[in-house]
Structure 1
Amino acid sequence: MTHQFHPTVLREYDIRGIIGETLGPDDARAIGRGFATLLRRAGGGKVAVGYDGRTSSPMLEQALVEGLTASGVDVVRIGMGATPMLYYAEASAEDVEGGIQITGSHNPANYNGFKMVFMGRPFFGADIRKLGEMAAAGDWLEGEGTSETREVLDAYVDRLLEGLAGIAPEALSGLRVGWDAGNGAAGPALEKLTARLPGEHFLLFTEVDGTFPNHHPDPTEEKNLADLKALVAAKNLDFGIAFDGDADRIGAIDGQGRVIWGDQLLMIYAEDLLKMVPGALIIADVKASRALFDTVSRHGGVPLMWKTGHSLIKSKMKETGSPLAGEMSGHVFFAHEYYGYDDALYAAIRLIAASVRLGQSVTQLRGAMPAMLNTPELRFQVDESRKFAAIDEVRQRLSLTDAQVNDIDGVRVTTADGWWLLRASNTQDVLVARAESDSPEGLDRLIGQIDEQLELSGLERGVQAAH
């Protein structure tokens, strides 16, 4: 028996496709067989399986479990929940050594996919390509695994609340927060969590609905925060928190409705953490503001700029022993007093804790940040065969100049005006550009440099690509 995956579904960080077109139950079965075979060959044990609220998720979960058990691995089914709840099930249970979450993350409702963890480390890149090779060759072990159901939601919520350890309940009694689950998988955990938090909590869209009837569950796009902004304004709340479809990415706004972007949240977390862990190494991706790296240094930490991608960041944290990392996209990773994976519910708790420990409201913390002018992520379509080559050309040209270049992931060029970035997406046929300055004129000059480099490679920034 062999299986061929559609060429578009085996991605760099996860597996993702369109249900009924590029992804279906046969793919899920083949993923299960390959993953189980690799785990058995590595001497691993049980696999935890969870799924998000998409309408196609239960069907894929059933097929995945069939594949895992057919290759001789025992499965722990934790049911519907957030991706970080699956990570928690894998990290906290001594008898579980792998985890697979079925989730389409923040993609449209007709998408679905798989995020995986293998013996405590992210499973991505070459690991995912290996699943494709094994399926094509039918290189699967045979076996008869079992499956059991395990409730982890209450234990997970208990663990989230440990993020407030050492903070007196009365320090939180005046807390007033808005929360938007976006009809994603965060809903059930969020309801249980806020029921146990001091203060007043106002919840939006906690009913899990894979058609996302209210708004798309991607808090990195400001238009998706409109309902939360309205709630915070109407109830005069301290701040608001939003989640993506599987709750591994956080969005936030302050009491004035200003967005607190991923790198700005990391500034707050870093200031708090560096009081507890002086001199810590803190990692952020190449898209993050210079203000973040400056903040880490100013508070005595060591900033490290690294490649974009949740699996790449998690791997770098393990390698360096970093207690905290984050990405512009809202993935935040706490290894300090937690497990080092991206968990937006835990990040929300740590934001509350940081505000108390720093003695300032979230609105004050946001207001104190330097006013940087930056572009949103500019994404434009470039043919798959051309995108990495174009970046190499830019890198080559810049190496012949005295430009200050960081080429860890694409090219990030620092000038007197600020910085600009050009990188190839690992998951789509797009180039991503971003620029930041402290003056409008500086920003224009930086964008001009991006356009100049694109033109030299026969490209232009004209065609904006959707997420």
Structure 2
Amino acid sequence: MHKLYSLQNGTDIRGVAYKDENNSKEITLSTEDVKIIASGFATWLTDKEKKENIKISLGMDSRITGEDFINASKEILTNLGIDVIDCGLATTPSMFMSTIIEDYNCDGAIMFTASHMPYIYNGMKMFTKSGCLEKTDLKDILDICVSKNFIESDRTGNITKKMLIDDYSRILVEKIRKGVNSTENFDRPFEGMRIIVDAGNGAGGFFAEKVLQKLGANTEGSQFLNPDGKFPNHIPNPENKEAMESISAATIDNKADLGIIFDTDVDRAAIVDSNGKSINKNALIAVISSIVLEEYPNSTIVTDSVTSNGLAEYIKNLGGIHHRFKRGYKNVINESIRLNESGIISPLAIETSGHAALKENYFLDDGAYLISKILIKSALLNREGKNITDLISNLKEAKESFEYRIKINEEDFKSYAEEIISDLRIFVDLDLSWKEANDNYEGIRVNCNSEEEKAWFLLRVSLHEPLLVLNIESDLRGGCKKVFDKLEIFLSKYNLDF
């Protein structure tokens, strides 16, 4: 297999791009690789658009290698006759918007990011006006790269430098002003509120100054706003325990009304209430579902497979329909799009990781847009002396939640995993207190109804690695262990490492 194919990670390119004395990994994504892949994207896009003078925007998060990758891409793309807009430090969602915003109107966009991965990594996420490339599109581009059948041109493309993040911030500010629609203070609807941001030294620091301060919020106490590709304070990741503890402590210490945390490239986010309580995963889904279901009553909310029973009940009590689908944010988004195309209203697709995409926003997974929707509601609640936590006061949260990642020691791990899951169905049928859930779109989800368990579990194969992933939640302390003990007996006969 050609090396370039190994860089594909779903819909992204990912690889080790930086080496220093603190790591021993060899570089797998070089500037030369980036040039080749950018050339492949330009060739694929030119063929797709069937026109001359293609325009591509380039942006990056704070990673160390971002600027080198942008410069390398500018050189090769302009040599191929492509016009380039250099957006500099940007967010992944804003790079898609460069294909939509009138003053940009790009045919395609490349964002250099590796999301929340360690600083030695970087990657490429590519967009057209239709959104993020699908896996098959990226495979087609890599096929072009391997064949080296690139476009040629007699002209040299133009390079334009633009401050995309400023233009994108103005879109968010205008949306929030219109959403709150304050008759007393239209321009500064967050006057009197303290809202702090933790960007984790990624690309999200703009949100404090260019959005919140413009809207009148006091952002004193915000932290790690300056871009630093080595992420010296904590990993920019709402799923990271250390990161969430950091923004929670800052929110309490600064007596803030709300704390906001973004991942590196701002396609994910989470919030913290005034008491320092984290609102992410199921709780975050509940908050945005509550907001969306006010706007679209009785509509369908699509989530990934590991959401809780308490969330399903919460959505149902609001009059919504919970459609639990597969893991993988593109799977969730594409399922919501499919439902809409079939006539079922589905305004929201959201994964427990924090990837949230709304139909009203091009089904773009955009952490800043998600937070803007929540902030509008927060400002309206603030007028009534309430806060965002009041929206989810009826959400039932599990007492325990665990995830186990179990290594599969077989070369054909996916077939082996399917065999295990098929056998597990028989095992489940023999237990009178266990019942397989109806909505199994991947792996097997089982409700464990005994008085000592009161739990559910989901066993599935990892999207990319030779792993079985086991999620268990229980309404009882010790309930997860009871379930795991039974499963361990079953799984012990297979070639696995716990």
Scaled by the length of structure 2, what TM-score is found?
0.85
Using the alignment, how far apart are the partners of 1:380 and 1:218 within structure 2? Answer: 23
Per-residue CA deviations over 1:29-73 (Å, capped at 9, x if unaligned) read 111111111111111642222111111011111222334344443
Residue number among 111, 121, 129 corresponding to 1:101 in the alignment = 111
Q: 1:87 aligns to what?
A: 96
| 1:361 corresponding residue in structure 2 | 387
| 8 A Cα contact 1:420 1:433, kept in partner | yes
1:446 pairs, out of 483, 488, 491, with 483
Distance 1:315 1:147 in 2: 34
- Alignment of 1:148 onto 2:167: no
Q: For residues 73 and 409 of structure 2, what CA distance do their matches in structure 1 show?
A: 33
Select 2:436's aligned residue among 404, 407, 415. 404
Aligned: 1:120 with 2:130: yes
The change in CA–CA distance for 1:368 and 1:391 in structure 2 (over 3 A counts) is same
1:123 touches 1:311 (CA, 8 Å); kept in 2?
no
Distance in 2, Cα, partners of 1:373 & 1:450 = 20
Letter in 2 for 1:134: I
Structure 2 match to 1:134: 144
Name the CA distance, whole Å, in 1 between partners of 2:191 and 2:303.
Answer: 33
The number of residue pairs the alignment matches comes to 458
Instruction: Give deviations 1:330-365, integer Å, cap 9, x for gaps.
Output: 1111223x2321111222221222334566412334
Aligned amino acid, residue 75 of structure 2: E
- How much does 1:168 deviate? 4.1
In the TM superposition, residue 438 of structure 1 has moved relative to its aligned partner by 1.3
Contact 1:91-1:120 at 8 Å conserved across structures? no
Aligned CA distance change for structure 1 residues 199 and 186 (closer, same or farther; 3 Å): closer
Quickly say closer, same or farther: Cα 1:435–1:164, change in 2 above 3 A. Answer: farther
Query: Which shifted more, 440-449 or 413-422?
Result: 440-449
Residue of structure 1 equivalent to 2:334: 315
Q: Which residue of 1 aligns with 2:199?
A: 181
| Higher Cα radius of gyration | 2
Cα distance 1:216–1:176, how it changes in 2: closer, same or farther (>3 A)? same
What CA distance in whole angstroms lies between the structure 2 residues aligned with 1:208 and 1:132?
A: 31
Measure, in 2, the Cα distance between the counterparts of 1:384 and 1:186.
41
Task: Note closer, same or farther for the CA distance 1:70–1:391 as it changes in structure 2 (3 Å cut).
Answer: farther
| Match among 238, 259, 275 for residue 240 of structure 1 | 259
1:230-266 Cα deviation digits (max 9, x unpaired): 2212122222111111111112222222221222111
Tell me the distance in 1 between the aligned counterparts of 2:488 and 2:101.
48
Superposed displacement of residue 209, structure 1:
0.6
Cα gap change, 1:367 to 1:201, in 2 (>3 Å): farther
Cα offset, 1:228, TM superposition: 1.6
| Residue type at the aligned position of 1:314 | I
After TM superposition, list the pairs within 5 Å mapping 1:418-433 onto structure 2. 418-433=455-470
Aligned twin of 1:465? none
After superposition, residues 51-70 of structure 1 pair within 5 angstroms as 51-70=60-79
Per-residue CA distance 1:305-351 (angstroms, 9 max, x = gap): 12222222232233223311211111111223x23211112222212
Contact 1:222/1:259 (8 A) holds in 2:
no
Q: Distance in 1 between matches of 2:329 and 2:313?
A: 22
The alpha-carbon deviation at position 107 of structure 1 amounts to: 0.6
Greater CA drift, 168-177 or 98-107:
168-177
Q: Which has the higher contact order (CA 8 A, sep 6+)?
A: 1
Match for residue 40 of structure 1? 46
Q: Which residue of 1 aligns with 2:21?
A: none
TM-score w.r.t. length of structure 1? 0.90
1:464 aligned residue: none
C-alpha deviation, 1:192, in angstroms:
1.0
Q: After TM superposition, give the deviation of residue 366 of structure 1 in Å.
A: 4.8
The amino acid of 1:370's aligned partner reads K
Distance (Å, rounded) in 2 between the aligned partners of 1:331 and 1:14? 15
Aligned counterparts of 1:34 and 1:457: Cα–Cα separation in 2: 43
Q: Which residue of 1 aligns with 2:6?
A: 8
- The residue correspondences of 1:316-355 to structure 2 (distance < 5 A) are 316-321=335-340, 322-336=346-360, 338-355=361-378
Structure 1: gaps (5+ residues):
462-467
* Cα drift, residue 146 of structure 1: 3.4
Q: Given the alignment of the two structures, is residue 389 of structure 1 paired with residue 387 of structure 2, yes or no? A: no
Three-state SS of the structure 2 residue aligned to 1:228 is helix
On the 8 A contact 2:238/2:280 being kept in 1, the answer is no
Equivalent-residue separation in structure 2 for 1:242 and 1:418 (angstroms)? 30
Is residue 17 of structure 2 the alignment partner of residue 24 of structure 1?
no
Structure 1 residue 415, shift from structure 2 partner: 3.2
Q: Distance in 1 between matches of 2:442 and 2:84?
A: 37
| Cα distance change, pair 297–324 in 1 and its aligned pair in 2 (3 A) | same
Out of 274, 286, 293, the position equivalent to 1:255 is: 274
The structural deviation recorded for 1:293 is: 2.1
Q: Is the partner of 2:369 in helix, strand or coil?
A: helix
Determine the C-alpha separation between the residues in 1 that align with 2:411 and 2:399: 33
Where 1:148 maps in the other structure, the secondary structure is strand
- Cross-structure match for 2:178: 165
In structure 2, C-alpha distance between the alignment counterparts of 1:453 and 1:175, rounded to whole Å: 54
User: How many Å apart are 1:456 and its aligned residue?
Assistant: 3.7
Structure-1 separation of matches of 2:64 and 2:262: 19
CA contact (8 A) 2:131 2:364 kept: no
Asked whether the 8 Å contact 2:63–2:230 carries over to 1, the reply is yes
After TM superposition, give the deviation of residue 204 of structure 1 in Å. 0.6
SS at match of 1:377: strand
CA distance in structure 1 between the aligned counterparts of 2:390 and 2:141, rounded to whole angstroms? 48
Cα deviation, residue 396, structure 1: 1.5
Distance (Å, rounded) in 1 between the aligned partners of 2:410 and 2:61 = 30
Confirm or deny: 8 A CA contact 2:60 2:113 kept in the other structure.
yes
Residues 104 and 114, structure 1, Cα contact 8 Å, conserved in 2: yes
| Equivalence for 1:214 | 233
Tell me: CA distance 1:198–1:123, structure 2 relative to 1, closer, same or farther (3 Å): same
